[in-house]
Chain A
């Protein structure tokens, strides 16, 4: 019989021996395993419901397990996904889609057009909790003929097919989902993506294994591990110690230091996230001179150079160069003298400054608070006295949805489909819950673009809106963010303009 002392002695000896002998493989050292120190946790596996469904960063994981209706390359270009063809009819009253053949779910059952139709209908039904169900409800009455799906346009949305590569645009398995239910699916999901869920421990890690039946390019690794390391210092330590193969969103200081380290490499490219200052049409912001002066007084390049180590691109509209409606000719520019003159025209000066609060997060984005401090300093020089209010991002969302933001409020905006409707549109159109600028002139310009059927006219319409916004000073775009990614030199990482660090874009050197 095993005695207590014998058991404890054997146990202790076993643990010490195993620990000292190093019998366990060190993390991140197996060539067929890719370990990513990821910057956010994965709360839920359903990519179509709840808050995580609209979290841009988490899309990297969703895209790895599930497939979207329409794919998107790292340059934001759309490409066939589970749909190989898609489009409207000439008068934009019908949609048609062709479902890819030969695709199987992770449980070996074939993907069918019914899966696609069910996914679209489920997303469009408000009862299922899709945060953007209105978008999906814009098409319906689907019929299936072979691999072809036809449907009616219920309310014309020119961007519906772009949404098929965007937030909540995932195809889920009808039969499996209905068999196991929403909660069980959340714990043991299956998709058609390049990797299958092996082990998921929320707040700790997600282990994926390669899908041998994947319809696309063969996965580059047998195993992919996402370690959820939400603390930036800990992520830096993960890559520095070799415990992880890839990490992202470390401080620019650490990025510059570590990419020079032997055995490590780095890539930092602009992504589709921008930093901006929302202006609310209240108080001093009703004065065009104040708005324009606030914009002209900001030296964006200096902020990027001094606070962000040069990692950032100054912008003057809510479009970045990768977006379809980007217009390089729209410039606002840093011009202190002009700012002073504009303020003087409204009776303000350094001796008699215009005063208003500006809200910002602190630590949510790199140097967010410090950027606002710098901007407040620049404003002070021309006659604007702004008081900084720090709030949590949850408070920002609450205030923005209630249209109660301060006259100026810092925020970051992402638009991974690069369509102006998802940047200028949602941020500036008064009736949406995202905008705090509500004026009839701007709404009258934007309104028709939501249903514009001529694509060229729609894009030129958005460019005109951006030009008008810049002239009127309705928002202060600041910069396009650059995403730092650090990785072992034995790997090749293709940066994704959407910011989603997908394992399919990582390969062995």
Chain B
């Protein structure tokens, strides 16, 4: 296990360096100049030159890169051009909101997808199987942003039962010490705050979770169906185990591995989906900030965000690898 961790950590460092080079290079060749974005109507050519120098953008590209990388290795992500705040601080402030949102979406998608898969396997010879396939097809076919808009119209406008934007009611007084507001409010027994946070989170979580639930349901159901035809399951059935117990305690053990691996990969897409969903719901996470950063051509912030997403993706893949090994004894001893 230690060897695996060392190997993966080395690969992660190389990957992150590659990400840093690519994002730095792409930003410099992409259209849009951050200084041109901020010049006011009265600005002169001299004003522009001075602004360019003050942000270090007058340096040769290779110098800019090494300065940025050198600072990065010392934990300094630079200063956001548009927000004029340390990028590292900004990322740390926003990361918990996105992690909470993504983890809640993952939890909901796993519960919902698992439920659909189990019911579908249980009723695999029943007429309702077709209906379950239909529901699953709908979940799979509709992307996050369409779910988001549909939820806004349904639960925000037609039946306004949920708040449309933000993470918490702006009228509430809060004093969270961490960015993990939902978790923290539960730990300090502020259930009123937790309820408000949950209400604000419901629509963005559903928008993110529903497509992933469809994928999980399809993969898990296929794996369960295959497992249910194995000899050890037949033996257990002969011994008198109920179908539900067969699915949960016999077939699930073998079916969960490939599902977990795929869920891990899909979770990275879910994190990517937070960008547009956070924008639609004005949810103050990394994704929402990423759109602003791109619009404003805030180079330091975009670079920091891409690296942060890179770290998240690498960690998710690592966790998935370890989880698959942990669930499958053959791999553990291989």
Contact = CB atoms under 8 A, between A and B. Distances in A.
A1 interface: no
Contacts of B82: 43-44, 50-52
A199 B170 contact: yes
Contact of A234 (B81, B169, B282): B282
A91 to B, nearest CB: 24
B32 A394 contact: yes
A17 B189 CA distance: 13
Question: Interface residue tally of chain A, by bracket?
Answer: 35 or more
A142 interface: no
A51 B80 CA distance: 11
A43 B192 contact: no
B246 to A, nearest CB: 27
A230 B282 contact: yes
Given A15-B191, A132-B43, A227-B165, A394 B50 contact: no
Interface string B99-140: 000000000000000000000000000000000000000000
B184 to A, nearest CB: 12
A41 interface: yes
Interface string A195-233: 000010111110100000000000000010101111101
Contacts of B47: 126, 131-134
Given A17-B191, A205-B166, A225-B170, A163 B282 contact: no
Contacts of B167: 201, 204
Given A15-B198, A19-B198, A422-B41, A51 B296 contact: yes
A225 B196 CA distance: 17
B279 A238 contact: no
Contacts of B23: none
A449 to B, nearest CB: 14
Contacts of A201: 167, 284
A205 B186 contact: no
B206 interface: no
Contact of A14 (B43, B191, B296): B191
A401 B33 CA distance: 9
Given A237-B157, A397-B36, A426 B51 contact: no
Contacts of B285: 203
A394 B34 CA distance: 8
Contacts of A428: none
B31 A30 contact: no
B57 interface: no
B84 A204 contact: no
Given A11-B186, A132-B40, A231-B280, A392 B32 contact: yes
Contacts of B11: none
A231 B287 CA distance: 14
Interface string B162-184: 01111101111000000000000
Most-contacted residue by chain A among B35, B94, B171, B196 (CB, 10 A): B171
Contact of B50 (A52, A126, A230, A434): A126
A49 interface: yes
A23 interface: yes
B46 interface: yes
Given A14-B191, A18-B194, A33-B171, A203 B81 contact: no
Given A204-B283, A227-B165, A398 B85 contact: no
Interface residues of B, number: 66
Nearest to B86: A183
Nearest to A423: B41
Contact of B170 (A126, A135, A227, A431): A227
B169 to A, nearest CB: 6
A203 B149 contact: no
B170 A187 contact: no
Interface in B215-266: none
Nearest to A163: B42
A176 B153 CA distance: 46
Nearest to A167: B40
Nearest to B45: A433
Contact of A24 (B43, B51, B85, B169): B169
A111 B289 CA distance: 35
B237 to A, nearest CB: 33
Contacts of B152: 233-234, 237
Given A27-B171, A43-B296, A233-B149, A241 B157 contact: yes
Contact of B44 (A17, A50, A432): A432
Contacts of A199: 170
Contacts of B33: 394, 397-398, 401
B198 to A, nearest CB: 6
A395 B160 contact: no
Nearest to B288: A203
A456 interface: no
In order of increasing CB-CB distance, the 10 nearest A-B pairs are: A394-B32, A14-B191, A18-B195, A51-B38, A54-B40, A397-B36, A204-B284, A132-B42, A395-B31, A241-B160
7 contacts: A44-B85, A167-B42, A203-B283, A203-B284, A223-B171, A394-B297, A395-B31
Interface of B: 31-48, 50-51, 54, 80-86, 94, 149, 152-153, 156-157, 160, 163-167, 169-172, 186, 189, 191-192, 194-196, 198-199, 279-285, 288-289, 292, 295-297
